[in-house]
Amino acid sequence: MSLFQRVAPLKATYDFMRSMGADPLRVEWDDVLSPTQAVKNGRVVTLAGTHNYLGLTFDPQVVGAAIDSLQKHGAGTTGSRIANGTYPEHAAFERELADFFGMPHAMVFSTGFLANLGVLATVAGPDDVLLIDADSHASIYDACGLSKAQIVRFRHNSAEDLDKRLERLKGHTGNKIIVIEGIYSMLGDRGAMREIVAVKEKHGAYLIVDQAHCFGVLGENGLGLVEEVGMLDKADIIIGTFSKSLGCVGGFAVSNLPDFDAMRIVCRPYMFTASLPPSVMAGARAALNAIRTRPDLRAKLWRNAVFLYDNLAQAGFKLGPEKTPIIAVELPSRELAIDTWRGLFDAGFYVNLALAPATPGGISLLRISVSAAHQPEQLQGLAEALTRVATSNGALATRLAAE
Ligand SMILES: Cc1ncc(COP(=O)(O)O)c(C=O)c1O
């Protein structure tokens, strides 16, 4: 049997997209000009699917700090921190991040994906249970594969279902560890943190919150959902990424747990992979400083998100349940989603196409991520182009007829 026989159904979906003239998984830019613009086949395309929430990828302070550090400390670390040591930039970022959260521990990983793999697989041992939301990101699912723990999946954002499942675990002596997200990446809805914390406390469980999409985005100071709902101290471990609001690459975990530092000597995805280049850490430090000191960026992001959401709702699109910077547009079928993605790309707008099995309930989505760097004309143009394409291919009429 071919080594790739197992993935034949996924390959068939991909081939189907390509037969419709869309290749959303292999877009190659001629050039990338700014947080919101790239060039494809000589034409400028507006980027609206890149999770560049605060537009910091080209920020002069972020880029300048990275260049200085690149010249001072070189291109890479050529190994992990346990083998090659900690550069001043790693230590400074961890101190500053811990201070920002008001927690004693912060730890940097080479990506957010590795942060989830490392943290979940380390804290959940063979006698423990990991309880994860059904809409969890792939890195959380893969962490379950790496962990030796029992895995229990609960209905998306349902504290009631979680409670029921924890009831069934009464008498189980190991740790119960609940994992949720701050903003869910497919539909853009917030995690039901308040309700889930009540269940966590009732059952004496632990709680890990992945804030990949809400750090720098939610909360008065940008500390994420945990801050927005006033429950900073209720999450035992908070996970984050540098690849969204921080505009760089990397991952992190912060925690109040007194013995959290043990992670540094047992967590394999931290110990056995190269640490981030100092230039990336310096850029991330400057981006963290921007989150702390430039609340105007967050305000602009929210103005843009609400503007686009309202525009698309008014045009008649079925959208995700909450107004956040991830705007999920549900299309009536896989074919219409692919065709709409292609039409929108041809019109000069890049968004994400998300299909089953990656989507909740197997629905077909165009996923838009809004940035503080978007100009109102770009968002207006996107709303108009999407309406035009979905009208001409019948996606909008099909959806309205289904109401
Ligand atoms: C919820 C969530 N967690 C973790 C990650 C992984 O982050 P990174 O890009 O840093 O690997 C992502 C990335 O999209 C995500 O959406």
Which of the listed residues 52, 110, 208, 241 should we mutate to test ligand 1's pocket, taking the one with most ligand atoms within 8 A of CB? 241
pLDDT band of residue 267 (cuts 50, 70, 90) is very high
- pLDDT at residue 323 greater than cutoff 80: yes
pLDDT of residue 399: 66
57, 120, 139, best to mutate for ligand 1 pocket (most atoms within 8 Å of CB):
139
Give, in degrees to the nearest 5, the angle at Cα 279 between 274 and 284: 95
- Residue 132 vs residues 146, 196, 326: alpha-carbon distances, Å: 14, 12, 21
pLDDT at 152: 98
Query: How would residue 172 be classed by pLDDT, with cut points 50, 70 and 90?
Result: very high
Interval between CA 127 and ligand 1 midpoint (Å): 27
Which of 293, 327, 349 finishes a domain? 293
**Tell me: the pLDDT tens digits for 268-309?**
999 999 999 999 999 999 999 999 999 999 999 999 999 999
When pLDDT is averaged across residues 357-382 and rounded to a whole number, the result is 96
User: Which ligand 1 atom sits closest to the C-alpha of 112?
Assistant: 10
Quick one: 107 and 204 in the same domain? yes
Q: Is 183 in the pocket of ligand 1 (CB under 6 A)?
A: no
Residue 269 in contact with ligand 1 by CB distance below 6 A:
no
From 238, 263, 293, give the residue that closes a domain. 293
Q: Say yes or no: 76 and 213 in one domain.
A: yes
The ligand 1 atom at the shortest distance from the C-alpha of residue 249 is 10
CATH number for the domain that contains residue 284: 3.40.640.10
Q: Which of 108, 137, 215 to mutate to test the pocket of ligand 1 (most atoms within 8 A of CB)?
A: 137
Domain match, 278 and 380 both: no
Band (397; pLDDT cuts 50, 70, 90): confident
Q: What residue spans of 124-274 are helical by DSSP H? A: 138-146, 159-168, 193-203, 225-228, 263-266, 268-271
Nearest-CA residue for ligand 1 atom 12 is 212
Please give the distance, rounded to the nearest whole angstrom, from the Cα atom of residue 246 to the centre of ligand 1.
12
pLDDT in tens, 33-89: 999 999 999 999 999 999 999 999 999 999 999 999 999 999 999 999 999 999 999
For residues 121 and 199, state if they share a domain: yes
Domain that holds residue 301: 5-57+295-401
Ligand 1 atom nearest to CA at 185: 16
Do 105 and 91 lie in one domain? The reply is yes
pLDDT of residue 398: 75
Measured from the CB, is residue 50 less than 6 Å from ligand 1?
no
The 10s digit of each residue's pLDDT in 82-138 is 999 999 999 999 999 999 999 999 999 999 999 999 999 999 999 999 999 999 999
Q: Of the residues 293, 309, 333, which one is the last residue of a structural domain?
A: 293
Alpha helices by DSSP H, 47-87: 60-73, 81-84
Q: Are residues 201 and 270 in the same domain?
A: yes
Residues 123 and 265 in one domain: yes
CB 87 within 8 A of CB 229: no
48 and 67 share one domain: no
Q: From the CB of 184, is ligand 1 less than 6 Å away? A: no
Number of folded domains that form the chain: 2
Do 278 and 256 lie in a common domain? Answer: yes
Pairing mode, strands 237-241 and 206-210? parallel
Are residues 233 and 120 part of one domain? yes
**Residues 151-166: tens digit of each pLDDT:** 999 999 999 999 999 9
Residue 400 pLDDT > 70:
no
What pLDDT score was predicted for residue 357? 87
* 245 CA distance to ligand 1 middle (Å): 12
User: What CATH number should be reported for the domain holding residue 41?
Assistant: 3.90.1150.10
Q: Which residues contact 108 (CB under 8 A, 6 or more apart)?
A: 90, 93, 94, 250, 251, 252, 275, 276, 281
Atom of ligand 1 nearest to the CA of 181: 1
Q: Is the CB of residue 189 below 6 angstroms from any atom belonging to ligand 1?
A: no
Domain identity same for 339 and 260? no
Angle at 115 between CA 110 and CA 120, to 5 degrees: 155
Q: Which of 373, 375, 317, 368 is nearest to 344 (CA)?
A: 368
Three-class secondary structure assignment of 103-166: CCEEEEECCHHHHHHHHHHHHCCCCCEEEEECCCCHHHHHHHHHCCCEEEEECCCCHHHHHHHH
Ligand 1 center from residue 324 Cα (angstroms): 17
| Whether residues 116 and 180 fall in one domain | yes
